[in-house]
Amino acid sequence: MPLTPVQTLASIAVMAVVTFLTRALPFLLFDRGDHPPKLVLYLGRVLPPAIIAMLIVYCLKGVTFTTLGGWVPPLAAGLAAVLLHLWKGNDLISIFGATVFYMVLVQGVFA
Amino acid sequence: MNRKTLAAAFPVTVPVLMGYLAIGMAFGLMLQSIGYGVGWAVLMSAVIYAGSGQYLGVSLLAAGAPLTQVAFLTLMVNFRHLVYGLSMLEKFRGMGLRKFYMIFSLTDETYALLSSARAPEGVEEHDFFFAVALLDQSYWVLGSAVGSLLGSALGFDTTGVDFAMTALFLVIAVGQWRAAGSHIPALLGGAATLASLLVVGAEDMLLPALAIIVIALTLLRPRLDEKHEREEETPCP
């Protein structure tokens, strides 16, 4: 816990307000029957996959290639998540299976 | 809200019940692992209410990230909500004060339910929407609390539980990849972020990456938009 309770509350408040704004913006801008500009609709359609890809790379920013433990667990568990999802198509099985696998790898195998 | 409406909404929300209990529990565990107990977990799930946003929030709290970075990253991870709102403009019209809650609670899963589910005969549609949204959030809060309490009661080694966030994004990406008409946006997003990581480093990688993504996608619009429109015009065989 590097933050004080007040700083934590401030962070949570910022997350809450920004999250609400992202959900409210379309209603604030286009609820009077105006049609959203075509560029907005286009970006709304093509941005989500690009941003999820961005966040995956962001999640994996700590990967290092100097030791086996620096890259094998995230690579193996990431592959497990994708393969489990292609196979079963169930969010929970994929997320939990991959996370438990990762925890076993970092705690047991590459500790 | 009457019992009949709740009884009609509950079966529709069962898949979300399973999902939110599980993903909420992982969130509670992650938050517990960085030293925040059940009160914090419930607070975050009550006022933020966003799966990937709260997962990211755990890493931001753990890093002691400055508020500007918290705001920016929360904006990025929730950007897709803009699209959801656009397709709910009509559905929420005329809901009065409850509309604020409907907008606040428009998560991926609630959006999915509201896009497809219909109110059964004899149940007012807006009551039904409200019940679905409220039930979904109650599962989320409950899951977060249970995860946090389990984490502190069992006291097991939670090292690596943060990988749940990576796995969640990978699962979303697989779904998007299958549904997408073009894989260019996803590939571009990954490549631009990797380039940004290599050039400016892990600390400041996201803003340049996002700038490249938005500019490149805007420039590619003639190509990507045209393809989309052609697909829409082609009738299914």
Query: Read out DSSP for chain B?
Result: --HHHHHHHHHHHHHHHHHHHHHHHHHHHHHHHTT--HHHHHHHHHHT--HHHHHHHHHHHHHT--HHHHHHHHHHHTTTHHHHHHHHTTTTTT-TTHHHHHHHT--HHHHHHHHH--PPTTS-HHHHHHHHHHHHHHHHHHHHHHHHHHHHHH----TTTTHHHHHHHHHHHHHHHHH-S-SHHHHHHHHHHHHHHHHH-STT-HHHHHHHHHHHHHHTHHHHHHHHHHHHHSPP-
- Check: pTM over 0.80? Answer yes or no: no
Segments making up each domain of chain B, as ranges: 3-179, 180-237
Q: What is the pLDDT of residue B153?
A: 86
Q: Would the pLDDT of B229 be above 60?
A: no
Would you say B138 and B45 are in contact if contact means Cβ atoms under 8 Å apart?
A: no
CB–CB of B35 and A11 under 8 A? Answer: no
**In a mutagenesis test of the A interface, which of B43, B82, B102, B111 is the best target, namely the one with the most A β-carbons within 10 Å?**
B82
Residue B27 has pLDDT above 60, yes or no: yes
| Residue B233 reports pLDDT greater than 60 | no
Q: How confident is the model at residue A8 (pLDDT cuts 50, 70, 90)?
A: very high
A79 touches chain B (CB under 8 A): no
**pLDDT confidence of residue A81:** 95
Best mutation target among A46, A60, A93 (most B Cβ atoms within 10 Å) is A46
Query: A74-86: per-residue pLDDT in tens?
Result: 999 999 999 999 9
Residue B230 falls in which region: left (phi positive, over 0), alpha (psi -120 to 50) or beta? alpha
Taking the C-alpha atoms of residue B41 and residue B147, their distance in angstroms, rounded to an integer, is: 9
Over range A63-84, report the average pLDDT. Answer: 94
- pLDDT level of residue B235 (50, 70, 90 thresholds): very low
Instruction: Say yes or no to pLDDT of B92 above 80.
Output: yes
Q: What is the per-residue pLDDT for A2?
A: 80
A43 contacts on B by Cβ (under 8 Å): 214, 217-218
Alpha carbon of A53: minimum distance to chain B alpha carbons (Å): 5
Number of cross-chain residue pairs from A and B with Cβ atoms under 8 Å apart: 254
Question: What residues of B are in contact with residue A105 (Cβ under 8 Å)?
Answer: 160
Q: Average the pLDDT over B16-31 and give the result.
A: 87
Confidence of residue A37 (pLDDT cuts 50, 70, 90): confident
Task: Provide the pLDDT confidence category of residue B224 given band limits of 50, 70 and 90.
Answer: confident
Residue of A nearest to B26 (CA): A96
Dihedral over Cα of B209, B214, B219, B221: its sign: positive
Residues of chain A contacting B64 with CB distance shorter than 8 Å:
2-3, 7
Q: What is the pLDDT of residues B124-155, one digit of tens each?
A: 999 999 999 999 999 999 999 999 998 888 87
Q: What is the mean pLDDT of residues B74-102?
A: 85
Mean pLDDT of A55-78: 91
Q: Please determine, for residue B88, whether its predicted confidence score (pLDDT) is greater than 70.
A: yes
pLDDT at site A7: 96
Residues of A in contact with B60 (CB under 8 A): 11, 15
Contacts B82 to A, Cβ<8 Å: 22, 25-26, 44
Read off the pLDDT band of B228 (50, 70, 90): low
Rounded Cα distance, A20 and A101, in Å: 34
**Contacts of residue A56 in chain B, CB cutoff 8 Å?**
166, 169-170, 173, 190
Rounded Cα gap, residues B237 and B220, in angstroms: 29
ipTM: 0.85
